Chain A
Amino acid sequence: MADAKVIPFDDDRSRGSAVQRPPRRGRSGGSRRPGGEPARVHEVGEVQPLPSRTRAQDDVPVPHEEQRPDEPAQQPPLDEGGLEKRIASGLAFLRRRLTGDYEVDDFGYDAELTDHVLMSLLRPVYENYFRVDVKGVENIPSEGGALIVANHSGTLPLDGLMMQVAVHDHHPAGRHLRLLAADLVFVLPVVNELARKLGHTLACAEDAERLLSQGELVGVMPEGFKGIGKPFSERYKLQRFGRGGFVSTALRQGTPIIPCSIVGAEEIYPMLGNSKTLARLLGFPYFPLTPTFPWLGPLGAIPLPTKWTIQFGEPIPTDGYPPEAAEDPMLMFNLTDQVREQIQHTLYKLLVQRRSVFF
């Protein structure tokens, strides 16, 4: 059964697999001749994908390799009065917060609070609860604007937050992901405050373009409520990608589009039913009925501890198009479809590789 599913993706990835092999041989110090030629070809054409694919082939070890050298670097200060230093820096942080002596950007993004507090609150969920595996972080450029387009699922937008932690913790340049959120987020009290401080902003062309032109990394989930509020039976089936506004935004700014596939979020709240009456009453786009929610009350709102994989795909460049390309609906639909297909294929591939929902 698995074979039947895998074959089409191998077809799809035939270009990729051709590139993957040579550098691996080169690394192991084997004969250069078979590997040399393809490598050179790709050095001319696409410089970035070359190292990325070799690492993507190794799958999981990427984050581990990066973490290991960090750990010893952090440990020595712990031994020699690390606690003191930590207390001192904690107090300095407290002092800055209490006196209001910190900076936020035009969007209300509070980098200090995000790094020191909010990320440390999300990290245990990310590392220990969902045990997120990240692949292909090297596809995210270390500087300049880029638009990450991901699938959306899970009833509550935890996938966006996990993606933010993934980029923040695993990207070598420590980049911050600026997510575009639905307007509902900015209507709700507390939620809107936290979202702004985490660097999220309203999903509209103006904000997205402003962020991209500032060279920020922007994350968008074009499926919106259709994706996050779809029934459990339709899991991992990508919904329509809005009106493709994200493509014209990227085209106008000439920033690459990075498709991102998130596996695992679909099963955190298996949405078996949707109470439309309650949703309309509360003003929400949907009101989920899961096996536990709302029957068990707040206990039912605890997500299932699924095992997640977040895969960042190969960037789709948009700077080769003329400036008027953003006004071309045909091209926009084609690019939207291309991004959508790529995410969908990667989703299926990751699903085949997945051993179980929970492990």
Chain B
Amino acid sequence: MGKVVLVTGVARQLGGRFVRRIQRDPDVDRVVAVDAVPPEHHLGGADFIRTDIRQPTIARVLAETAADTVVHLDVTATALGSGNRATVKETNVIGTMQLLGACQKSPTVRRLVVKSSTNVYGSAPRDPAVFSETTPPKSLPSGGFAKDTVEVEGYVRGFARRRPDVAVCVLRLANILGPNADSPLASYFSLPVLPTVFGYDPRLQFAHEDDVIEVLRIASHEPRRGTLNSGTFNIAGDGVLLLSQCSRRLGRPTVPLLLPAVTWAGSLVRTLGMTDFSPEQIRLLTHGRVVDTTQMRETLGFQPKYTTAETFAEFARSRGPGLLPPEALAGAVDRIAALPVAGGGHPPTQSAN
């Protein structure tokens, strides 16, 4: 009685890593990896089926492979390679609808795991400081990836209602960072100079790639004793980092810009197609977002290995030093401290301190 796991969105780093990881689990017999484009990375011997989840063929794939666990990772903010926002949106929303329709017809599906994002909460000054799974957002995201996730979650809820026999787990992931992460925030932090919004210092939370893989694995297996892995869960590392802290720890200087200027520049850059600096990204970097992870700990029984600060340190190490490396600044301060002038004739005591 082996398990057959169908994973969508395997052409991405996260999907690829998850497929490789879950294949090593003893109770998994077969992993079916699905994406519209062939992945550049190897999938560790998983069966790759090239199919677009926006097409009804996904139902046939599901029926032929008799998958009992579906892990839907093809809900993403950015296009892979070439592809514009419209394609991404279609894959997110129409793809999810097709996949859920296929799952609803399939008699074998027992478990559905959907990757969502804490973007569903939006980011507004009138929101409570910490979002729990039940907090309704004050202002619904008006567009972009955030709206996609809200719609995807809506369809998933509908599916859960129609197929109560299927265990449905929605994982709202905080911004994923790590050595290999290709999230929009990771590319933002790779800029040599970080544009920020003047007068705002947002609180940010990160989830480490390794932790994300682990929590996806927990969600796609039978729940351990004393835990429950169906429902909606916020996933984030412990603690909070301010954007100013992030830039200092990265050693990248910031350029504070007025909010209208940032919005304007963002839309300009977007039209030119240089980077995906979306409006919700700007809102996140203005007001920030922190989620409550009590449910993740107590109900799902998952303890992240990395805190937010550790995740960021790991990411900073992988990116190399910026223009103002923190070590150099610390060294400069230490040199000032070692100057005998400031002490007024007591240099030995000072160096001792």
- B326–A99 touching, CB < 8 Å: yes
* Chain A residues with CB below 8 A from B353, complex form: 84-85, 88
* Chain B residues with CB below 8 A from A108, complex form: 129, 201, 203, 240, 242, 288
- B346–A196 touching, CB < 8 Å: no
* Chain A residues with CB below 8 A from B292, complex form: 210
**Interface size of A in residues (CB-CB distance below 8 Å):** 40
Q: Check: A197 CB closer than 8 A to any chain B CB.
A: yes
- B346–A100 touching, CB < 8 Å: no
Bound complex: CA A124 to CA B201 (Å): 26
Cβ of A95 to closest chain B Cβ, rounded Å: 4
Other-chain contact of A106, B199, B244, B290, B336 (Cβ < 8 Å): B290
- A99–B247 touching, CB < 8 Å: no
Cβ of B132 to closest chain A Cβ, rounded Å: 8
Q: Kindly state the interface size class of chain B when it binds its partner.
A: 35 or more
- B130–A210 touching, CB < 8 Å: yes
Bound complex: CA A106 to CA B205 (Å): 9
Q: Check: B28 CB closer than 8 A to any chain A CB.
A: no
Given A88-B350, A105-B240, A202-B129: A192 and B199 within 8 A (CB)? yes
Bound complex: CA A98 to CA B329 (Å): 7
- B125–A187 touching, CB < 8 Å: yes
Within 8 A of A (CB), among B293-343: 326-327, 329-330, 333-334, 336-337, 342-343
Q: Check: A104 CB closer than 8 A to any chain B CB.
A: yes
* Chain A residues with CB below 8 A from B326, complex form: 98-101
- A202–B126 touching, CB < 8 Å: yes
A75-106, CB under 8 A of B: which get 1 and which 0?
00000010111011001101101111111111
- B248–A104 touching, CB < 8 Å: no
* Chain B residues with CB below 8 A from A186, complex form: 125-126, 287
- A99–B200 touching, CB < 8 Å: no
Within 8 A of A (CB), among B270-290: 287-288, 290
Bound complex: CA A110 to CA B203 (Å): 11
Q: Check: A207 CB closer than 8 A to any chain B CB.
A: yes
Q: Check: A107 CB closer than 8 A to any chain B CB.
A: yes
Q: Check: B259 CB closer than 8 A to any chain A CB.
A: yes
Q: Check: A189 CB closer than 8 A to any chain B CB.
A: yes
- B247–A100 touching, CB < 8 Å: yes
Q: Check: A59 CB closer than 8 A to any chain B CB.
A: no
Q: What residues of chain B have their CB less than 8 Å away from a CB belonging to chain A?
A: 125-130, 132, 135, 197-201, 203, 239-242, 244-249, 259, 287-288, 290, 292, 326-327, 329-330, 333-334, 336-337, 342-344, 346, 349-350, 353
- Beyond A95-B333, A100-B245, list 19 extra A-B contacts (CB 8 Å): A88-B337, A92-B337, A99-B248, A99-B249, A100-B326, A104-B203, A104-B241, A106-B130, A107-B290, A186-B125, A192-B200, A193-B199, A193-B200, A201-B129, A202-B126, A202-B129, A206-B135, A210-B129, A210-B292
Q: What residues of chain A have their CB less than 8 Å away from a CB belonging to chain B?
A: 81, 83-85, 87-88, 91-92, 94-95, 97-108, 110, 183, 186-193, 196-197, 201-202, 204, 206-207, 210
